[in-house]
């Protein structure tokens, strides 16, 4: 075999591209045979003999040898060590050129060759994209839809190229959505559907393509897959149900595609997805709740959904998962409730429906994603709702848990949300009882720390809450204020250049509020706050400057 190969390679080197194609063809057959017998050894020999640089000219003259040349390149490029030599020999441009030919065997072998050369190399894949292979391949998929091998070659190529961001715009300018949906409808085999899914998932991350897929009818295909697989225990059906429902949720992440499917809440797709929530299948429950969370991305949709009883559906789902305890379903249902609670008109309706009570059942959860959504949901619900803030703010179990989570150093999101909810309970209730509960459970020091947050909105929420604590129950809070070095924190906020005007304003309001406490008053004097405040009288923000004058008068009067 080795001798035959050496002979063939020598002959090939001597034959120029215009010599009798018979001799070239028999040499190529010998090469293919050798590669089939021992690919690695034959590849090394081919590289040693320096045959690769001849390949571009063999590719350039299209004849009966062309598919064999492309096939040889495809076989060589299965080896990682051969890929760079193939690129250096200048094989990519002539191969790309061949994608425009009509011969299906040439197309198939060319696709394989390009795929193998560029396998796992983002740089080379990006080069192919810039050479315009995407529109060419999409066209091939349409023209040769009957050719299974070619179709698969295109799908594998799309799967690789779609991972690159630079490909998305090119894909969006073709009719890839229609072609893929058309292909999907024809498939009966599980493997084929899987191949198409693998292309659809990365493409559907692009908003323009999301809309194209919806318009091409992908959603109906996905709903059919769900219908066919929902009651099956077969592993492949379970996998397909998950893929189809996940893809459905992904399509709803685009604003335009989501609104198109919502159809004012009357859309058949919207209705079908709602029917997933009460199902007994965890994957469908999850997808249904995530879909509602996505539909709930604007106020109009949220108001419509709350008015049509969707909250009850989510509460029943959550109730089932207090025991069943599926964390992903809990997280998704809480996300949906949090989004639905954003419009002001929904808050009181959701509170009357008992949302807060059901959400509180998950207080014992040890899962940070669930804790995070639970906190966000409660915070949205009590915004501007004094009675609810009062009721929750005097719930010792809740406040104790919040104080515990304020120390969740490993989970910044949970820590931030706990602090914000603690502050919100005080700000929205303005109640002495709530303030008393927060002091009693040890929450004050966390609010003082929150005032030093890098997020201005959190600093502000903390200062307003601390101001209310000082105004409503300074005596009880005094010890905590001293222990948490509140006065030093305020001094820092007032002297720092980068503090926003509202932070300076609320810090001065708080200084005035703590003056009624003797130890705090002493600290204010020892840190020479009068000097700090008098400098702020010339602040460019008029409200800050005015408050500085008032604070200075107050400090002077009490010094």
Q: Which of 55-64, 238-247, 332-341 has the lowest mean pLDDT?
A: 55-64
Query: Are residue 50 and residue 98 in the same domain, yes or no?
Result: yes
What is the distance between the alpha carbons of residues 52 and 73, in angstroms, rounded to a whole number? 9
Query: Are residue 52 and residue 1 in the same domain, yes or no?
Result: yes
What is the distance between the alpha carbons of residues 412 and 415, in angstroms, rounded to a whole number? 5
* Token duo for residue 401: 């848990």
Q: How confident is the model at residue 23 (pLDDT cuts 50, 70, 90)?
A: confident
* Token duo for residue 112: 């394989």
The three-class DSSP label of residue 512 is helix
Place of tokens 């003259």: 61
* Token duo for residue 495: 């002297």
What is the distance between the alpha carbons of residues 486 and 494, in angstroms, rounded to a whole number? 12
What is the distance between the alpha carbons of residues 86 and 113, in angstroms, rounded to a whole number? 10
The answer to whether position 410 is within a domain reads: yes
What is the distance between the alpha carbons of residues 524 and 478, in angstroms, rounded to a whole number? 14
Query: Are residue 545 and residue 463 in the same domain, yes or no?
Result: no
Q: Which of 138-152, 370-384, 456-470 has the lowest mean pLDDT?
A: 138-152
How far does Cα 338 stand from its chain's mean position? 18
Q: How confident is the model at residue 425 (pLDDT cuts 50, 70, 90)?
A: very high
Residue 36 maps to which CATH number? 1.25.10.10
Q: Is 413 exposed, middle or buried (0-12, 13-18, 19+ CB in 10 A)?
A: middle
Read off the DSSP letter of residue 349.
H
Q: What is the mean pLDDT of residues 76-98?
A: 93
The answer to whether position 341 is within a domain reads: no
Query: Are residue 12 and residue 61 in the same domain, yes or no?
Result: yes
pTM score, two decimals?
0.84
Q: How confident is the model at residue 53 (pLDDT cuts 50, 70, 90)?
A: confident
Read off the DSSP letter of residue 146.
T
Q: What is the mean pLDDT of residues 411-416?
A: 95
The answer to whether position 57 is within a domain reads: yes
CA–CA distance from 510 to each of 421, 468, 475 (Å)?
Answer: 20, 9, 15
Specify the pLDDT at position 15.
62
Query: Are residue 448 and residue 554 in the same domain, yes or no?
Result: no
Print burial letters for 213-238: b (CB count within 10 Å at least 16), e (below 16): bbebebbebbbebbeebbeeeeeebe
Query: Are residue 463 and residue 536 in the same domain, yes or no?
Result: no
Specify the pLDDT at position 26.
81
Q: What is the mean pLDDT of residues 154-172?
A: 91
Longest CA pairwise span in the chain (Å): 110
What is the distance between the alpha carbons of residues 493 and 451, in angstroms, rounded to a whole number? 9
What is the distance between the alpha carbons of residues 213 and 198, in angstroms, rounded to a whole number? 14
pLDDT of 256 > 50? The answer is yes
Place of tokens 């997280």: 331
pLDDT of 170 > 50? The answer is yes
| Strands annotated E in 174-262 | none
What is the distance between the alpha carbons of residues 440 and 476, in angstroms, rounded to a whole number? 9
Q: At what angle do helices 66-76 and 39-48 cross, to 10 degrees?
A: 110
The answer to whether position 25 is within a domain reads: yes
Q: What is the mean pLDDT of residues 83-93?
A: 93
Q: What is the mean pLDDT of residues 99-114?
A: 93
Query: Are residue 521 and residue 456 in the same domain, yes or no?
Result: no
Specify the pLDDT at position 16.
54
Read off the DSSP letter of residue 147.
-
Query: Are residue 506 and residue 412 in the same domain, yes or no?
Result: no
For the chain, the helix, strand and coil percentages under 3-state DSSP, each to the nearest 5? 80, 0, 20
Asked if 413 and 372 touch (Cβ cutoff 8 Å), the reply is yes
Query: Are residue 457 and residue 527 in the same domain, yes or no?
Result: no
Q: What is the mean pLDDT of residues 22-47?
A: 85
Which of 334, 335, 384 has the alpha carbon at shortest distance from 360?
A: 334
The answer to whether position 9 is within a domain reads: yes
257-260 contacts at long range (C-beta below 8 A, 24 or more positions apart): 257/207, 257/210, 257/211, 257/213, 257/214, 258/294, 258/295, 258/297, 260/211, 260/214, 260/215
The answer to whether position 294 is within a domain reads: no
Which of residues 119, 143, 173 is at a domain's end? 119
In terms of residue numbers, what domain contains 494? Answer: 485-558
Which of residues 119, 142, 162 is at a domain's end? 119
Q: What is the mean pLDDT of residues 388-411?
A: 95
What is the distance between the alpha carbons of residues 508 and 541, in angstroms, rounded to a whole number? 14
pLDDT of 202 > 90? The answer is yes
Read off the DSSP letter of residue 523.
H
Other CB atoms within 10 A of residue 297 CB: 16
Q: At what angle do helices 235-251 and 218-229 cross, to 10 degrees?
A: 150
Query: Are residue 456 and residue 523 in the same domain, yes or no?
Result: no
Print burial letters for 87-109: b (CB count within 10 Å at least 16), e (below 16): bebebbebbbebbeeeebbbbbb
Query: Are residue 474 and residue 523 in the same domain, yes or no?
Result: no
Q: Which of 53-67, 382-396, 462-476, 499-513 has the lowest mean pLDDT?
A: 53-67
The answer to whether position 539 is within a domain reads: yes
The torsion angle over the Cα atoms of residues 364, 365, 366 and 369, rounded to 10 degrees, is -140
Q: How confident is the model at residue 17 (pLDDT cuts 50, 70, 90)?
A: very low
Q: How many domains does the chain have?
A: 3
Query: Are residue 413 and residue 500 in the same domain, yes or no?
Result: no
What sections of 174-206 are H helices per DSSP? 176-186, 190-203
Asked if 99 and 56 touch (Cβ cutoff 8 Å), the reply is no
Which of 163, 191, 92 has the alpha carbon at shortest distance from 133?
A: 92
Tens of pLDDT along 269-289? 999 999 999 999 999 999 999
* Token duo for residue 197: 């899914």
Tens of pLDDT along 429-452? 999 999 999 999 999 999 999 999
pLDDT of 13 > 70? The answer is no
pLDDT of 1 > 60? The answer is no
Half-sphere exposure of 80 (CA within 13 A, CB side): 2
User: Which residues neighbour 404 within 8 Å (Cβ) at sequence distance 6 or greater?
Assistant: none
* Token duo for residue 248: 């459905």
Tens of pLDDT along 519-540? 999 999 888 889 989 999 999 9
Percent of the chain residues past pLDDT 90, beyond the cut? 78
Q: Which of 9-18, 49-58, 206-215, 474-483 has the lowest mean pLDDT?
A: 9-18
Which of residues 66, 87, 119 is at a domain's end? 119
Rg (C-alpha) for the chain, rounded Å, is 34
The answer to whether position 11 is within a domain reads: yes
* Token duo for residue 509: 């309001």
Print burial letters for 185-212: b (CB count within 10 Å at least 16), e (below 16): eeeeeeebbebbbbbbebbbebebbbbb
């Amino acid at each position: 075999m080795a001798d035959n190969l050496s002979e063939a390679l020598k002959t090939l080197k001597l034959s120029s591209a215009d010599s009798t194609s018979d001799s070239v063809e028999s040499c190529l057959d010998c090469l293919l045979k050798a590669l089939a017998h021992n690919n690695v050894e034959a590849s090394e020999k081919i590289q040693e003999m320096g045959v690769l640089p001849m390949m571009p000219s063999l590719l350039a003259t299209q004849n009966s040898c062309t598919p064999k040349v492309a096939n040889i390149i495809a076989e060589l490029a299965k080896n990682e060590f051969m890929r760079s030599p193939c690129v250096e020999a200048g094989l990519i441009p002539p191969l790309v050129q061949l994608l425009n030919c009509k011969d299906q065997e040439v197309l198939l072998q060319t696709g394989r060759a390009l795929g193998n050369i560029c396998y796992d190399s983002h740089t080379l894949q990006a080069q192919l994209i810039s050479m315009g292979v995407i529109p060419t391949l999409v066209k091939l998929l349409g023209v040769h839809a009957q050719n299974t091998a070619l179709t698969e070659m295109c799908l594998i190529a799309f799967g690789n190229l779609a991972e690159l961001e630079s490909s998305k715009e090119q894909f969006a300018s073709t009719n890839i959505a229609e072609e893929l949906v058309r292909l999907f409808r024809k498939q009966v085999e599980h493997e084929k559907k899987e191949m198409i899914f693998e292309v659809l998932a990365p493409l559907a991350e692009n908003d323009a393509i999301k809309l194209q897929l919806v318009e091409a009818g992908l959603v109906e295909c996905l709903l059919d897959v769900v219908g066919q697989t929902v009651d099956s225990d077969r592993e492949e059906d379970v996998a397909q149900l998950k893929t189809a429902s996940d893809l459905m949720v992904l399509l709803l992440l685009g604003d335009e595609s989501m609104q198109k499917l919502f159809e004012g809440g009357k859309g058949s797709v919207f209705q079908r997805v709602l029917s997933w929530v009460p199902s007994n299948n965890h994957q469908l429950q999850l997808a249904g709740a995530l879909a509602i969370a996505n539909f709930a991305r604007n106020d109009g949709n949220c108001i419509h959904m709350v008015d049509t009883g969707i909250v009850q559906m989510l509460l029943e789902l959550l109730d089932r998962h207090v025991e069943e305890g599926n964390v992903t379903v809990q997280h998704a249902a809480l996300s949906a409730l949090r989004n639905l609670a954003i419009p002001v008109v929904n808050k009181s309706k959701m509170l009357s429906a008992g949302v807060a009570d059901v959400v509180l059942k998950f207080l014992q959860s040890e899962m940070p994603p669930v804790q995070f959504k639970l906190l966000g949901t409660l915070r949205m619900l009590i915004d501007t709702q004094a009675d609810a803030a009062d009721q929750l703010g005097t719930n010792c179990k809740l406040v104790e848990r919040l104080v515990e989570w304020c120390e969740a150093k490993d989970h910044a999101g949970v820590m931030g949300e706990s602090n914000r909810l603690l502050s919100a309970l005080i700000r929205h209730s303005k109640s002495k009882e709530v303030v008393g509960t927060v002091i009693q459970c040890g929450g004050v020091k966390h609010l003082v720390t929150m005032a030093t947050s890098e997020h201005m909105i959190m600093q502000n929420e903390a200062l307003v809450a601390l101001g209310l604590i000082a105004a409503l129950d300074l005596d009880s809070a005094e010890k905590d204020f001293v222990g948490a070095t509140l006065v030093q924190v305020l001094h820092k906020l007032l002297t720092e250049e980068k503090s926003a005007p509202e932070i300076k304003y609320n810090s001065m309001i708080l200084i005035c509020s703590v003056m009624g406490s003797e130890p705090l008053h002493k600290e204010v004097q020892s840190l020479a706050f009068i000097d700090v405040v008098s400098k702020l009288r010339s602040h460019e923000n008029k409200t800050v400057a005015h408050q500085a004058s008032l604070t200075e008068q107050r400090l002077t009067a009490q010094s």
